[in-house]
Each structure stands twice: as C-alpha cells, then as structure tokens.
C-alpha cells in the first residue's frame, strides 16, 4: 500500500466509523459493511455487501454443526473486502437466531425505583444489574451463570421507561466468538436476529415514510414470521407466528393492529419467498390490509465509492446483516 493510500485510510478512520454485520443463516453467510460520519445524525452508507453460500447441514437451527464450513465462508466473505486502511479496525457484530434467544421488556419501575437509573442510559453504578439478571433467569428458566444477557434502558414519550432484556445460553455466544476468531475476526457484539431486522427496517422507515405513519414491520425466517406495529411512539405491539392463538397469518396481523385500523404501510424483509409460498405475496397483503407493501432493501443506502451488485442491493435477505452493522455505527 502506498503512503498516500495509508494516509487516506487514516483520515477516513478518524472522520467515519465503519462496522460489519454478519448474518450466518442455514443457507449463506451474509456480510454488510456500513459507515457513518462521526457527527450528529450523520447519514448511513452501505459500503459493501457480500453473500457466500453454505452447504446444507452446516448450520441447523442456529447451531454451527460444521464449524470449518462456516469459518471458510467467513474468510471468503471478508477476503473479498477491498484492502482499505480505514477498514482494518472494523467493529463486527454477529446475529443469534430467534430460536436461541429470549427477549422481554420490563418496566423500569418494576425492577428498581426510578431514582436509581436514568432512562436512555446504561447502569454505571451497577444498581440494576442484579435485578436484570434475576428477571432473565426467571424468564429463561436457566440459571444466570449459564446465560449471556444484554440489556438497555429505553425512554418512552409517556415517561415510562422500559428495560429491554435479551438472553441466550452462553454456549451459543461462545460458539460464535470461537468460530469468528478461527476466521480471524474479532466480534464486538452479538445481537438477536429479530432485533437486528427490526432495527434495519425502522431505519429504512425513517427515510421512506412520514414520521406520523403507522406501519407493520414483517420479518420472515425459516421458523416463522416476526411482526411489529410501529407508530409515533415507537414499537406499539409485537408478535411471532406460528402461535397457538392464531389460525392464520391474517388473524395474527389483524390482532397486531388491534382497533387502530389498517396501517399506512407494511414493510417486509428476510426470506419473503416464504410469505409468497404461504399465499402472502405483496399483492395479497395489499388486498387484505388496504395499504402499500414495501420490501426492505439496502439500495437507498448504497452511496459509497465502490459499486455493489444489484441483486444484493435489492435483496430483502440483508435486513439482519444491515441491522447488525447499524447498531455498531450508531453507538
């Protein structure tokens, strides 16, 4: 690398933050590299997208059955990245499947008196940590020593702060850290795939939709459908299908909406072919809910220097990878 290229990379590293989101599914390893200028409300830029197929059986239900195959796919995906100095210290986040992750929200007041914590922050004095771990242990039915727990305090417009808790068996985290390390990758975060997909599509919604719109976010994956109702106050309702209480996807989404009436939009991402095969293509959803249906895609954010393949730019399968990287550049 020339001195000029090294200098340019050093300058970019100071003015932009770069991160990679790694989505390891049963069919492929998907990689999204995202950047953001280090200033308030700097725009998000997708710098690179990559997809490397995995042989059937290499990953099953979130378990890395053939670690060597996953390591090889990770090396290939990262090996295709341009040799830029600014990308040498990428913050990398990997996803955890919904089947391996328990998520819950608890009112802050239920865990501890409001004076002990500040909405929107962490817990610098460690006041909430024991209460959060106890809640995760109770919800998961696994003793806390065997759990890996992530949590944050989220402020609400109504003043009632919520504590969002994500917990998984520690073995799932360890397998991802070890597999990534074998591929020469240091992970800075591990996040649930549904949370990452929701983050990606809500971010797209801030650009595509009016802030006053109510919309449904649908993310389809091999074990079913995850859906959220998003309004001016944020996420107002959530569900997962299939579930015993819902005989069909239509019934599930109608219950999600509740008395508010038809949403203004529906966002769909993930393996949307599963929805199509189940009879819920975009045209059917439009007819049922009387609103437009938008597919998630990275194309609106692909404004970096390097060209990105059209099939990847417009693929709804990159919702998780984009959402994982988004978390890292926004922190």
Higher per-residue confidence, 166 vs 187: 187
CATH topology for 3-96+172-195+318-330? Nucleotidyltransferase; domain 5 (3.30.420)
Q: Is the pLDDT of residue 178 over 70?
A: yes
Q: Name the one residue in this structure whose structure tokens are 């800075």.
A: 188
Q: Is the pLDDT of residue 118 over 50?
A: no
Q: What is the mean pLDDT of residues 261-289?
A: 94
pLDDT score of 136: 85
pLDDT score of 7: 40
Q: Is the pLDDT of residue 13 over 60?
A: no
Of the pLDDT bands very low, low, confident and very high (cuts 50, 70, 90), residue 10 is: very low
Q: In the chain, what are the domain boundaries? A: 3-96+172-195+318-330, 100-170, 204-299
Q: What is the mean pLDDT of residues 155-180?
A: 83
Phi then psi for residue 93, to 5 deg, are: -120, 140
Fold equal for 100-170 and 204-299? no
Task: Count CA atoms closer than 13 A to 264's CA, side-chain side.
Answer: 12
Q: What is the mean pLDDT of residues 133-149?
A: 84
Q: Tell me what percent of the residues of the chain surpass a pLDDT of 70.
A: 87
Q: For residue 93, how many other CB atoms are within 10 A of its CB?
A: 23
Among 26-40, 64-78, 104-118, 207-221, the range of highest mean pLDDT: 64-78
CA 101 – CA 97 distance, rounded (Å)? 7
Q: Is the pLDDT of residue 4 over 70?
A: no
Of the pLDDT bands very low, low, confident and very high (cuts 50, 70, 90), residue 165 is: confident
Weakest mean pLDDT among 1-5, 100-104, 283-287, 290-294: 1-5
pTM here is: 0.85
Contacts of 137 (CB under 8 A, 6+ apart): 143, 144, 147
pLDDT score of 104: 79
Class of domain 100-170: alpha beta
Write down the mean pLDDT value for the chain.
86
CATH topology for 204-299? Nucleotidyltransferase; domain 5 (3.30.420)
CB contact at 8 A, 223 and 216: no
Gap between the terminal Cα atoms of the chain: 30
């Amino acid at each position: 690398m020339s001195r000029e290229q090294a200098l340019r990379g050093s300058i970019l590293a100071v003015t932009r933050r770069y991160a990679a989101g790694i989505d390891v599914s049963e069919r492929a390893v998907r990689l999204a590299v995202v950047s953001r200028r280090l200033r308030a409300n700097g725009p998000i830029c997708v710098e690179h997208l990559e997809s490397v197929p995995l042989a059937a059986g290499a990953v099953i239900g979130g378990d890395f059955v053939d670690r060597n195959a996953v390591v090889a796919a990770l090396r290939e995906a990262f090996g295709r990245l341009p040799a830029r100095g600014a990308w040498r210290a990428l913050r990398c986040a990997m996803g955890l499947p919904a089947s391996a992750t328990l998520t819950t929200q608890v009112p802050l007041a239920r865990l501890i008196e409001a004076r002990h914590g500040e909405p929107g922050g962490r817990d610098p004095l460690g006041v909430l940590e024991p209460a959060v771990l106890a809640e995760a242990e109770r919800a998961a039915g696994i003793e806390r020593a065997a759990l890996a727990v992530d949590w944050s305090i989220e402020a609400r417009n109504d003043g009632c702060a919520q504590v969002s808790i994500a917990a998984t068996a520690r073995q799932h985290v360890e397998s991802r850290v070890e597999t990534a390390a074998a591929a020469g990758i240091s992970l800075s975060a591990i996040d649930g795939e549904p949370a990452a997909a929701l983050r990606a599509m809500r971010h797209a919604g801030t650009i595509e939709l009016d802030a006053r719109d109510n919309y449904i976010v649908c993310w389809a994956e091999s074990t079913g459908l995850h859906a959220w109702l998003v309004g001016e106050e944020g996420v107002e309702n959530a569900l997962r299908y299939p579930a015993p209480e819902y005989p069909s996807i239509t019934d599930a989404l109608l219950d999600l909406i509740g008395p508010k009436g038809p949403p203004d939009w529906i966002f769909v991402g993930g393996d949307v072919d599963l929805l199509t095969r189940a009879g819920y293509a975009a045209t059917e959803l439009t007819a049922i809910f009387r609103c437009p249906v938008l597919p998630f895609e990275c194309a609106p954010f692909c404004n970096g220097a390097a060209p990105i393949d059209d099939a990847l730019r417009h693929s709804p399968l990159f919702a998780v990878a984009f959402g994982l990287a988004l978390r890292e550049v926004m922190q």
